[in-house]
Amino acid sequence: MADTTAAPPPVRPSGRIRWAMYAAAGWSLAYGLLALGWTVTGRGFPLGENDPEGALSLLENLPANVGAPLFAAAALAGAGIAFLMARWPHSVQERLPGGSHGRPEHVVQANRQLRSWWRATLIVVGSLMALGWLLVVPDARVLAIVGYLPLVIVVAPFDAEMRADFIDAMDWVYLNHLAVLVGGFAWVLATAVFARRTAGRCEKCGRGGRLSSWMDPSVVARRGRIAVAIAMVIPAFYALTRWVWVAGVPLGIDSEHFDEATATGDLTSGAWLGSFALVGSLLTLGLVQKWGEIFPRWMPVLRGRRVPLKLAVIPASGVSALTVSAGLSLAKIGLDADRAALSLDNWAAVGPALFWPLWGVALAVATYCYYIRRRGACTECGRSDGPGADPRAEHGVLKTGGRRAPEPAEPGWR
């Protein structure tokens, strides 16, 4: 019987992977110095009490003289932690001959336990950094600007008022949100690479000596379908409420707010965001359908070609983070007793958004399952999850000798 044990991951992985932690360190240092400038000068902190539209922010009541030094301390400490992660030795080294250097076994075991404790601590801190920068600091305004962006691109070149409004909207608060999103994703990547490195797994793909049961193709396909269903229903329900309003039916909203939103044009804006959410819902379906892997026949030039993996994974990952962040900030308003935005007479105004964190998590899970299904053999460690067939052949699209490839017995997208 053939040996199926995979070779260990490379001790020296590619520099591109190893630089992930240096990127997190560099971003943290730059942002920490910026926050230190806010602290020293007493000016420039864009959040908390200095945010004119801070009602949407989880940091609404944060004083500038507290927030600025807090951000500086967190970011500068993060820079040191990320640099420590980058310099942490690969765990494979510990298993090489002579690794104990003649020291007593109990000393070696104590050192390993200490290193294990520090490793777990660094992973927890890295995860908290990622969650904080990605989900706590930004708010629903970032997702709103992303939702309006297609409309701005199409209409703004011909509408001076829209151009001016968009430029005015991109103030320092928005720029800060974009900056911390970059830092948050840098911390996600850095923490993942560090966790893989110190567990003796491949830093690029995360595969180890054994294939996890979670990575079983049938398990991944099943969980992906469940996650996609959740990630489709929630935005579709949100879109339905907004389009019902445009049709003149005040569903789940009191007449006073309905008349005011009609007069100000907020109903039209809400309908646009609902349409954007509905388009996202339909695109989410591609994560479990064959047209999410192979461009369909009706697309000229691209038809029959493989959908680049990053073309689906990167946007979906970004939207999942923005959706969770937006959901948390809208939940803050909806559940605030002073504002009382959520009530039986006004449930549709904020109620659908309370499920947005679940939407974002479901989209992240669906995207990860899509990535696992489609990734091939790793270019670093050479491992794979199974026979790497071309998905065009899987779905009968790839032609061989003038004949269509046979249909698989159980394709992963079903």
What does the pLDDT profile of the chain (414 residues) look like in tens digits? Answer: 444 444 444 445 556 667 889 999 999 999 999 999 999 999 999 999 999 888 888 998 899 999 999 999 999 999 999 999 998 876 544 443 344 455 566 555 666 676 788 889 999 999 999 999 999 999 988 988 888 888 788 887 888 887 887 888 788 888 999 999 999 999 999 999 999 888 888 888 888 777 667 777 788 889 999 999 999 999 999 999 999 988 888 888 888 778 888 887 778 878 888 888 899 999 999 999 999 999 988 888 888 899 999 999 999 999 999 999 999 998 888 777 565 566 777 788 888 888 999 999 999 999 999 999 988 888 777 777 754 433 433 443 433 333 333 333 333 333
- Same domain for 65 and 83: yes
Task: State how far the Cα of 251 lies from the Cα of 274, in Å rounded to an integer.
Answer: 15
Three state DSSP letters for 67-82: HHHHHHHHHHHHHHHH
End-of-domain residue from the set 210, 241, 257: 210
Task: State how far the Cα of 368 lies from the Cα of 287, in Å rounded to an integer.
Answer: 10
208 φ, ψ (degrees, to nearest 5) = -115, -160
Query: CB atoms < 10 A from the CB of 399, how many?
Result: 12
User: What totals of helices (H) and strands (E) does the chain contain, helices first?
Assistant: 13, 2
End-of-domain residue from the set 184, 210, 236: 210
- Same domain for 256 and 399: yes
Is the Cα torsion angle 375, 376, 378, 382 positive or negative in sign?
Answer: positive
- Same domain for 256 and 113: no
CA angle, 277 then 157 then 302, to 5°: 55
Q: What's at 21, amino acid-wise?
A: M
- Whether 148 is in a domain gets the answer yes
- Same domain for 171 and 269: no
- Whether 380 is in a domain gets the answer no
Mention every residue, 6+ apart, whose C-beta is less than 8 A from residue 132.
Answer: 74, 184
- Same domain for 222 and 181: no
pTM, 2 dp: 0.81
Which residues span the domain enclosing 59? 15-91+107-210
- Same domain for 277 and 195: no
End-of-domain residue from the set 157, 188, 210: 210
Query: CB atoms < 10 A from the CB of 33, how many?
Result: 13
CA angle, 159 then 165 then 169, to 5°: 145
- Whether 382 is in a domain gets the answer no
**How is residue 58 annotated by DSSP?**
T
Q: Which residues of 338-373 are buried (b: 16+ CB within 10 A; e: fewer)?
A: eeebbeeebbbbbbbbbbbbbbbbbbbbbbbbbbbb
**How is residue 344 annotated by DSSP?**
S
The predicted structure's pLDDT at residue 334: 76
- Same domain for 305 and 158: no
Count of structural domains within the chain:
2
Question: Which tokens sit at 182?
Answer: 């970059």
- Same domain for 244 and 150: no
Is the Cα torsion angle 396, 398, 400, 402 positive or negative in sign?
Answer: positive
- Same domain for 157 and 39: yes
- Same domain for 232 and 192: no
DSSP alpha helix (H) spans, 57-204: 64-87, 105-131, 140-155, 160-169, 172-198
Mention every residue, 6+ apart, whose C-beta is less than 8 A from residue 119.
Answer: 88, 198
Question: Which tokens sit at 79?
Answer: 């820079």
